[in-house]
């Protein structure tokens, strides 16, 4: 990994492992109300071993750009023409039950603690790859959505990845979602692209040729990471890749961009 320019490095520290702050009260609550698997409801773990074994990797081969499964190696029809800002989009698993239930609980039922098992899927995927990046950035939420949800799910996932594989993580607020957008899950492919067009802004020093890895929870059409990548390239990035926890294989089960 190449070094970042000093002005940028100060905005992208490697997340540190926090000191344990578990109180007696918290331990007592854990005993009274033990963790339940978000996939099946079984008590004991946030994502139980049985559900973990049902998480399916994306079938190979995939489109070398968007990461959708293909019959033969190459580019899918959608990626065979046109210009793209994201060089490649990859996902750790297919967006299907039980993983889809876990992601839904994570985002829409305030189960922020699920970032740990979901982030671990990113870690396990990334450790088997040879790509080298200089910087990791989480897809940002608009301040209104952040206030409503209480956390940026992509940022929490990125923290898990960066902490374990020792990558610099861009702090919140440097890559910004300036315009509030509709939820992508409600829109078709063309509407998704229009929805996020020019929605992001770079508020930091020049990226000076840095290679950036974008983190998000689910990829469907890739519109959200494309819009982010457009902003990052305009800010001076030389390459942008995207990694998500899950890849939706059809619009009927999409929850994201």
Instruction: Read off the pLDDT of residues 130-151 as tens digits, 9 standing for 90 and up.
Output: 789 999 999 999 999 999 999 9
Residue 37 lies in a domain: no
Structural domain containing residue 101? 56-253
CB-count burial class (<10 Å; 0-12, 13-18, 19+) for 68:
buried
CB-count burial class (<10 Å; 0-12, 13-18, 19+) for 154:
buried
Q: What is the mean pLDDT of residues 201-209?
A: 96
Residue 163 lies in a domain: yes
- Say how far residue 15 (Cα) sits from the centre of its chain: 16
Task: For 59-105, write each residue's pLDDT tens digit.
Answer: 999 999 999 999 998 999 999 998 899 999 999 999 999 999 999 99
Residue 166 lies in a domain: yes
> Among 107, 116, 133, 139, which Cα is nearest to 231's?
139
Residue 156 lies in a domain: yes
Residue 138 lies in a domain: yes
Q: Provide the domain count of the chain.
A: 1
Distance CA 206, CA 194 (A): 26
Residue 182 lies in a domain: yes
Give the CATH number, domain containing residue 99: 3.40.50
Please tell me what DSSP assigns to residue 47: S
Between residues 154 and 183, the one the model is more confident about: 154
Task: For 169-193, write each residue's pLDDT tens digit.
Answer: 999 999 999 876 656 555 556 666 6
Residue 9 lies in a domain: no
pLDDT value at position 251? Answer: 45
Poorest-confidence range of 44-53, 85-94, 108-117, 193-202?
Answer: 193-202
Residue 43 lies in a domain: no
Ramachandran quadrant class, 193 (left: phi over 0; alpha: psi -120 to 50; beta: rest): alpha
Q: What is the mean pLDDT of residues 234-238?
A: 97
Poorest-confidence range of 1-5, 17-21, 27-31?
Answer: 27-31
Please tell me what DSSP assigns to residue 171: P
Q: How many CB atoms lie within 10 A of CB 13?
A: 12
**Strand boundaries in the chain, DSSP class E:** 88-94, 135-138, 175-177, 200-202, 211-219, 239-247
Between residues 207 and 17, the one the model is more confident about: 207
């Amino acid at each position: 990994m190449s070094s970042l320019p000093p002005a940028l490095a100060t905005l992208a520290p490697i997340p540190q492992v926090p000191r344990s702050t578990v109180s007696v009260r918290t331990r007592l609550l854990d005993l009274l109300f033990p963790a339940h698997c978000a996939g099946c409801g079984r008590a004991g773990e946030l994502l139980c071993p049985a559900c973990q074994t049902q998480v399916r990797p994306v079938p190979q081969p995939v489109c070398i750009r968007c990461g959708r499964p293909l019959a033969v190696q190459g580019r899918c029809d959608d990626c065979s023409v046109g210009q793209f800002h994201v060089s490649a989009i990859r996902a750790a698993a297919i967006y299907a039950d039980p993983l889809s239930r876990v992601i839904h609980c994570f985002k829409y039922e305030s189960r922020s603690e699920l970032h740990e098992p979901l982030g671990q899927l990113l870690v396990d995927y990334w450790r088997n790859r040879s790509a080298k990046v200089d910087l990791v950035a989480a897809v940002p939420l608009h301040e209104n959505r952040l206030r409503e949800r209480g956390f940026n799910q992509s940022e929490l996932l990125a923290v898990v990845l960066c902490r374990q594989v020792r990558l610099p993580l861009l702090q919140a607020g440097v890559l910004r979602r300036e315009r509030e957008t509709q939820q992508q899950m409600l829109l078709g492919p063309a509407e998704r692209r229009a929805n996020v067009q020019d929605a992001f802004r770079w508020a930091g020093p020049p990226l000076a040729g840095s290679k950036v890895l974008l983190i998000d929870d689910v990829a469907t059409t890739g519109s959200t990471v494309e819009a982010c990548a457009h902003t990052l390239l305009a800010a001076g990035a030389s390459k942008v890749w995207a990694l998500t926890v899950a890849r939706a294989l059809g619009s009927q089960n999409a929850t994201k961009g």
